[in-house]
């Protein structure tokens, strides 16, 4: 057994990431894996180099969002696969913002994929793998105490600002931001409670289509076996100007 296994305490292991205790109280180290899952864990696989790319892409987007005043958990990137983040209490709600119909919305309501929505739509899902993350309304969220009305308002307004900013950013590099998923956390600063953006923003949780060809440049390539999965993640990083040519090919380093 590798003696370094116990060097850091594993706080949480999810499908695509591992969280370790950070160097200071109130911090965590977020490690990005190459593992990919879809359809509520029924499909499993590996996207070589995904962790390295998502670490970079999420760093880039969270830094930019920080610059426009969106509070995020991101502190700094530590190495190829790890970033230092603020430890927050995750609110068990996934916020999905949609600009164009795709995925579960197309299926559930029978609206053709690609239909441009008359306005951006925000949806809430209860974060519960065993139940397949069911869609919920603000009534469920407040009745069951997952978040209070003020927190819901804050998450909604931050999500819409993030959508406005990211839609423009991606359009500038020839990509349509079709939809994406966000997670938020609670952070206490003295006696004040702040709602801050957590998790990651990457092609794992965004749908991105090429403006000219409508080619999918995100996890849908993995979900639906469209091929060129690695290439799509690399292309998003390349267009953002953050691709490191040699580092993305290998799947070096498992979490210690
Ligand atoms: N999404 C995610 N995690 C989830 C569910 C959805 O990151 O557990 C993202 C997904 O990548 C897409 C958006 O949220 O960008 C909307 O997903 P949708 O509800 O259409 O579900 P899906 O088609 O992914 O099942």
Number of C-alpha atoms within 13 angstroms, CB side, residue 1? 5
Q: Residue 110 and residue 190: Cα distance in Å, rounded?
A: 48
pLDDT per residue over 101-129, tens digit each? 999 999 999 999 999 999 999 999 999 99
Q: Name the superfamily (CATH) of residues 2-88+228-240.
A: Phosphorylase Kinase; domain 1 (3.30.200.20)
**104 Cα–ligand 1 center, Å:** 7
* pLDDT tens-digit map of 43-54: 999 999 999 999
What is the mean predicted confidence (pLDDT) over 15-33? Answer: 97
Helix (H) or strand (E) holding 7: none
Span from the CA of 37 to the centroid of ligand 1 (angstroms) = 11
Token pair, residue 240, equals 């953002």
Residues 32 and 55: their CA atoms lie apart, in Å, by 6
Distance from the Cα of residue 14 to its chain's centroid:
13
- pLDDT of amino acid 243: 82
Higher pLDDT, residue 171 or 244: 171
pLDDT for residue 155: 98
- The closest residue, in CA terms, to atom 10 on ligand 1 is 205
Quick one: 89-210 is in which CATH superfamily? ATP-grasp fold, B domain (3.30.470.20)
For the chain, give every domain's residue range: 2-88+228-240, 89-210
Q: Which residue has the tokens 């590996």?
A: 46
Ligand 1 in contact with 103 (CB < 6 A)?
yes
Measured in Å, residue 24 CA sits from the centre of ligand 1 at 33
Is the shortest distance between the CB of 30 and ligand 1 below 6 Å? Answer: no
248 pLDDT above the threshold of 50: no
pLDDT greater than 80 at residue 244: no
CB of 133 within 6 A of ligand 1: the answer is yes
Q: pLDDT grade, residue 5 (50/70/90)?
A: low
């Amino acid at each position: 057994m590798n003696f370094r296994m116990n060097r850091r305490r594993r706080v949480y292991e999810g499908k695509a990431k591992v969280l370790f205790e950070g160097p200071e109280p109130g911090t965590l180290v977020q490690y990005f894996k190459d593992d990919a899952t879809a359809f509520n864990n029924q499909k499993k696989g590996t996207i070589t180099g995904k962790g390295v790319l998502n670490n970079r892409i999420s760093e880039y987007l969270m830094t930019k969002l920080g610059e426009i005043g969106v509070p995020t958990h991101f502190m700094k990137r530590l190495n190829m696969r790890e970033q230092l983040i603020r430890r927050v209490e995750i609110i068990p709600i996934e916020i999905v913002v949609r600009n164009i119909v795709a995925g579960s919305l197309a299926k559930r309501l029978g609206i053709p994929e690609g239909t441009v929505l008359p306005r951006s739509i925000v949806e809430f899902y209860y974060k519960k793998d065993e139940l397949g993350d069911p869609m919920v309304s603000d009534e469920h969220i407040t009745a069951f105490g997952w978040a209070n009305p003020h927190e819901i308002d804050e998450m909604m307004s931050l999500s819409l600002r993030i959508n406005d900013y990211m839609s423009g950013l991606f359009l500038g590099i020839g990509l349509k931001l079709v939809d994406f998923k966000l997670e938020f956390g609670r952070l206490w600063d003295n006696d004040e409670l702040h709602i801050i953006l957590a998790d990651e923003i990457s092609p794992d949780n965004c749908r991105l289509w090429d403006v000219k060809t409508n080619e999918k440049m995100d996890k849908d390539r993995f979900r639906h076996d469209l091929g060129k999965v690695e290439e799509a993640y690399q292309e998003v990083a390349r267009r953002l100007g953050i691709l490191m040519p040699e580092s993305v090919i290998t799947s070096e380093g498992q979490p210690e």
